[in-house]
Structure 1
Amino acid sequence: MTVTDAAGGPSGQSGPSGTGAVAPGRTVAVVGAGTMGQGIAQVALLAGHRVRLHDAAPGQAETGAEAIRTRLDRLVEKGRLEEGARRAAARRLTCTAEVAELADSALVVEAVVEDLAVKQELFRALEEVVADDCLLATNTSSLSVTAVAGALRRPGRFVGLHFFNPAPLLPLVEVVSGFATDEAAAARACETARAWGKTPVRCADTPGFIVNRIARPFYAEAFAVHEERGADPATIDAVLRECGGFRMGPFELTDLIGQDVNEAVTRSVWESFFRSPKFEPSPVQRRLVESGRLGRKSGHGWYPHGPGAERPEPHTAPAAEPPPQIVVEGDLGPAGALTALWREAGITVREEDGDRGPRVLLPSGGQLALADGRMSAESRDVVYFDLALDYRAAARVALSASEATGRETLRQSIGLFQALGKKVSVIGDVPGMIVARTVAMLVDAAADAVAKGAASPEDIDTAMRLGVSYPVGPVEWGHRLGRAWAHELLDELHARVPTGRYAPSLGLYRQSYATTKGDQAS
């Protein structure tokens, strides 16, 4: 390892790289002056680094640098940055036309086109000019870090540094270790991200890393419910927001991201997992992309956009009278809070032990049950209700019924939730409904990632909360629900859709088995 004096030699290093953060004042190179490159450069500048911005396209680095300076001006106008700090940051930003001008870099972050050959060629060129202790990083979101590093003579100093867009605002950075990445390099990348005010999470080089891998069911299950004619996009979005606690529904979110971008990520993860049914892309989303309905950027996606566009309203059931009394049989588990809520609403609730599973008996003779992966058509006169993040706080609850369900049973079920001040959306008879099957699949995806060493439970939860604003990390959500709940729901779904998509992972099986055995032992 090259060590130079404090004045800096050819490497620009003032000492051994070690595992600590790249020191403020050291040179950070950003290659690729597009949106992501600009954002990363801005973050490094405001952390006190000299930043060299390079782009192979003539004039692109200068254009990117000017955009960064404009954003710094706006921060001053908004009172988020002192004028002196802006001037100092602007002085530290320079553009370079040649890779050779990046020789004094302590860290190089690449943010160029998602093309393996292009990235490999770039890093081969960088390796010829930077010092041996310069940390090399890629911001790729879809390519294998191991594959990119495969072109290097010294792949141990190569890591993934996956920022989220917009990089100056979003706190999460996925630090990805390739097959040959040295622990010291990954630790240094983590400490550098932390010094830049970011929250780093560590993960192995697996398809999609953490966020793009585990988030797939959030989109896929919503699209599947739509394809199964369970509900329209507006209703599915509303249920996931107002019942599941998610900030945005998957249809509105993919319209914001871009249908082509979201579908490409899904397809990339699916291909990388050798076309596993758990990651299978949606045919209806593919048709949307083929039709040019890409979301906000094209003026139409799942929803119309642009001036005068009217947003479709979710299905909301008309007012219905609640029954004056109900019987709650058994422990409602994740929905246990409803018993107290119904009593607070003035409904007489009698609790009884039951050997036919937890359920609510209605005066109509029908029953109400939490979604468990079965369908209403399989039982006589039953209405299922969806899982909620918090039944007290939820503004909406979904109910599912079949054509055989008694109309009075459905009306009484609607009235029960309306008595709690909830809006009610009645959807089709789809197993697992909306929130329940989505959450079960997220819990399963997290359990699978932990079991295969992709990331720690803590980093997974941090990544999903900060990267995609989930209300609760999937590992913690699984703990709250009891992993046996997710396993049992997926077992029921797998029995009805035996493609392998809903087969519980070995990781979830292990956790569920351990939970069950632990309960029996106690």
Structure 2
Amino acid sequence: MSTSAVEQNTDALRGAAIDPDRVVAVVGTGAMGQGIAQVALVAGHPVRLYDTLPGRVGEAAAAIGARLDRQVDKGRMTAADRDAARARLHPAAGLAELSDAALVVEAVVERLSVKQELFRELEGIVSDDCLLATNTSSLSVTAVAGALSRPGRFVGLHFFNPAPLLPLVEVVSGTATGADAARRALATVTAWGKTPVSCADLPGFIVNRIARPFYAEAFALLEDRVADPATLDAVLRESGGFRMGPFELTDLIGQDVNEAVTRSVWESFFRSPKFIPSLLQRRLVEAGSLGRKSGRGWYDYADGAERPRPHTAAPAAPPAYVVAEGELDPAPGLLELIAESGVTLRREPEDEGTRLILPSGGQLVPVDGQTAAEYRDVVYFDLALDYRAATRIALSAAPHTGERTLQEAVGLFQALGKKVSVIKDAPGMIVARTVAMMIDLATDAVAKGVATEEDIDTAMRLGVNYPVGPLEWNRKLPLGYAHELLESVDERVPGGRYAPGLALFLHTHASAPDGEGSDPDS
């Protein structure tokens, strides 16, 4: 969207926002309820806080006050603003005290029957113009609204934890949500200083749907003993550009929480192989190894426990020269890096294929979904978000790959200033397989009307801190790369998990330059 379009959209929403003088009510005083209440308070609203458990509202109000104190200590809020916000926070003894609310946001336990009963009761209390919203992350907004006589004013407002800090809010329209309700929700969230994205009510919404491969592919690679958790985390961070690896991130989230979301999405998609949960993660949960909160997950968090280090290859001598056949399109900038490193680079045009020929006669090939075992003397190297900025590269080789070829490949990347992790031969490797799967799910989500390309990329950057959105990454890759890679992986790992979707196929061919398609009559 252009800057002018953004400004026009913001102007259109501004008048639809709930007035700051109107009451916002929050039902549920857990971490999410407290965070949402704090956001509304800071935005200037009077806030009514309600919980069914005795004493919880008072504890929550005290916790919110303490967080506001910390904002003052950090210079992010004045003492006067804090005092005014505290004065606007009102505990409610019963739902009847929410009758004058302009917006009620629910953040109670993730059980459909509980949420439906709550909103049935609220519907008889609040005014006709009150917007009703659920913060659910796993239930259908349509199903929750199904209990209401007027579901048109019901929306999903999915904040991310911690709500005061993370900017993203998924504004979810159920099948009965009215356009005016969605517009008011978007406008209000924008007025609160958040970045809303619009999405349809399909399982996982945007983030929890498209993020699944980030975890699932790492867990599958671990199950296949391709690499250990520390190495998989390091490659995704240092080559893929992700802020945290999937093992350390799920330890932070909680293995039980992450596994429950994965299982919910899988069940909601009728147990599609694309979302199948990890048996290894299930075993962690069964063992009570839930991550940081239990002291052990994929890693040990006990006092004095040593963090495992990623596998890093020992120093190797760089090759005297390499011969580049083709332009290495999946690895932009890599040939320039080689030329700058002092390794002699010879170029030869190549009609098909793209590879580096090493002095041993072996080949160094960008990851393409095939395996080194299929060739005589090949080493594959993984995808990087930015080959110049990457500090680590993964290589894979077959047992019969020549040792000289492998060492020359290791030495070449070390000469470029990269750490090297040698992993077991695996189709699609680590970063490429993960990113291609996310691209496939993102393209499918656009085709099914879940959200726009722009909103999907925004959601993945702001909601889970990805370096770029999956559709932006797809635009950086050669045309058809993700589709072809997944086709190759699917041939080697059958079962449907890696079969690229029709949307990715059509997206690839619709983007092809004129003349590249074949004649349908030929």
- Provide TM-score, normalisation by structure 1: 0.95
Q: 2:140 aligns with which of 128, 144, 154?
A: 144
Q: 2:210 aligns with which of 214, 221, 226?
A: 214
Q: Does residue 189 of structure 1 match 2:185?
A: yes
Seen in structure 2, the aligned counterparts of structure 1 residues 18 and 145 have a Cα distance that, compared at 3 Å, is: farther
CA distance in 2, matches of 1:71, 1:341: 48
Seen in structure 2, the aligned counterparts of structure 1 residues 200 and 107 have a Cα distance that, compared at 3 Å, is: same
Q: Which residue of 1 aligns with 2:390?
A: 394
Q: Which residue of 1 aligns with 2:307?
A: 311
Give CA deviations for 1:163-200 in whole Å, capped at 9, x if unaligned. 00000000000000000000110111001000000000
Instruction: Output the amino acid matched with 1:170.
Output: L
Q: Does residue 269 of structure 1 match 2:265?
A: yes
Once the two structures are overlaid, the 10-residue window that deviates more, 476-485 or 157-166, is: 476-485
CA distance in 2, matches of 1:301, 1:92: 41
Residues 156 and 172, structure 2, Cα contact 8 Å, conserved in 1: yes
Q: Does residue 161 of structure 1 match 2:153?
A: no
CA distance in 2, matches of 1:237, 1:44: 36
Q: Which residue of 2 aligns with 1:340?
A: 336
CA distance in 2, matches of 1:61, 1:381: 66
Corresponding residue SS for 1:333: coil
Q: Does residue 106 of structure 1 match 2:102?
A: yes
Instruction: Output the amino acid matched with 1:438.
Output: T
Q: Which residue of 2 aligns with 1:171?
A: 167
Corresponding residue SS for 2:511: helix
Q: Which residue of 1 aligns with 2:65?
A: 69
Q: Which runs of 4+ in 1 moved over 2 A?
A: 515-521
Matched ranges for 1:373-392 at <5 A: 373-392=369-388
Instruction: Output the amino acid matched with 1:282.
Output: S
Corresponding residue SS for 1:332: coil
Residues 14 and 191, structure 2, Cα contact 8 Å, conserved in 1: no
Give CA deviations for 1:150-169 in whole Å, capped at 9, x if unaligned. 00000000000000000000
Q: Does residue 427 of structure 1 match 2:423?
A: yes
CA distance in 2, matches of 1:288, 1:452: 34
Residues 190 and 200, structure 1, Cα contact 8 Å, conserved in 2: yes
Matched ranges for 1:22-421 at <5 A: 22-421=18-417
Instruction: Output the amino acid matched with 1:253.
Output: L
Residues 18 and 188, structure 1, Cα contact 8 Å, conserved in 2: no
Q: 1:479 aligns with which of 475, 497, 501?
A: 475
Q: Which residue of 2 aligns with 1:12?
A: none
Give CA deviations for 1:313-357 in whole Å, capped at 9, x if unaligned. 000000111111111111211213111111100111111122441
Q: Which residue of 1 aligns with 2:8?
A: none
Offset at residue 517 of structure 1 (A)? 5.0
Give CA deviations for 1:463-507 in whole Å, capped at 9, x if unaligned. 000000000100110111134000000000010111100000111
Seen in structure 2, the aligned counterparts of structure 1 residues 483 and 140 have a Cα distance that, compared at 3 Å, is: farther
Seen in structure 2, the aligned counterparts of structure 1 residues 518 and 248 have a Cα distance that, compared at 3 Å, is: farther
CA distance in 2, matches of 1:344, 1:70: 54
Offset at residue 18 of structure 1 (A)? 11
Q: Which residue of 1 aligns with 2:461?
A: 465
Residues 140 and 202, structure 2, Cα contact 8 Å, conserved in 1: yes
Residues 335 and 370, structure 1, Cα contact 8 Å, conserved in 2: yes
Offset at residue 516 of structure 1 (A)? 3.1
Residues 371 and 387, structure 1, Cα contact 8 Å, conserved in 2: yes
Corresponding residue SS for 2:510: helix
CA distance in 1, matches of 2:452, 2:361: 48
Q: Which residue of 1 aligns with 2:440?
A: 444
Once the two structures are overlaid, the 10-residue window that deviates more, 53-62 or 231-240, is: 53-62
CA distance in 2, matches of 1:426, 1:487: 25
CA distance in 2, matches of 1:155, 1:471: 37
Residues 490 and 496, structure 2, Cα contact 8 Å, conserved in 1: yes
Offset at residue 226 of structure 1 (A)? 0.8
Instruction: Output the amino acid matched with 1:244.
Output: G
CA distance in 2, matches of 1:269, 1:248: 22
Instruction: Output the amino acid matched with 1:409.
Output: T
Corresponding residue SS for 2:196: strand
Give CA deviations for 1:28-74 in whole Å, capped at 9, x if unaligned. 00000111100000000010000000001111111111111111111
Corresponding residue SS for 2:101: coil
Instruction: Output the amino acid matched with 1:491.
Output: E
RMSD over aligned Cα atoms: 1.3
Residues 370 and 387, structure 1, Cα contact 8 Å, conserved in 2: yes
Once the two structures are overlaid, the 10-residue window that deviates more, 346-355 or 400-409, is: 346-355
Q: Which residue of 2 aligns with 1:506?
A: 502
CA distance in 2, matches of 1:247, 1:82: 32
Once the two structures are overlaid, the 10-residue window that deviates more, 146-155 or 67-76, is: 67-76
CA distance in 1, matches of 2:411, 2:386: 19
Residues 19 and 185, structure 1, Cα contact 8 Å, conserved in 2: no
Residues 54 and 95, structure 1, Cα contact 8 Å, conserved in 2: yes
How many residues align? The count is 506
Q: Which residue of 1 aligns with 2:5?
A: none
Residues 483 and 508, structure 1, Cα contact 8 Å, conserved in 2: no
Corresponding residue SS for 2:480: helix
Once the two structures are overlaid, the 10-residue window that deviates more, 259-268 or 66-75, is: 66-75
Q: Which residue of 1 aligns with 2:17?
A: 21
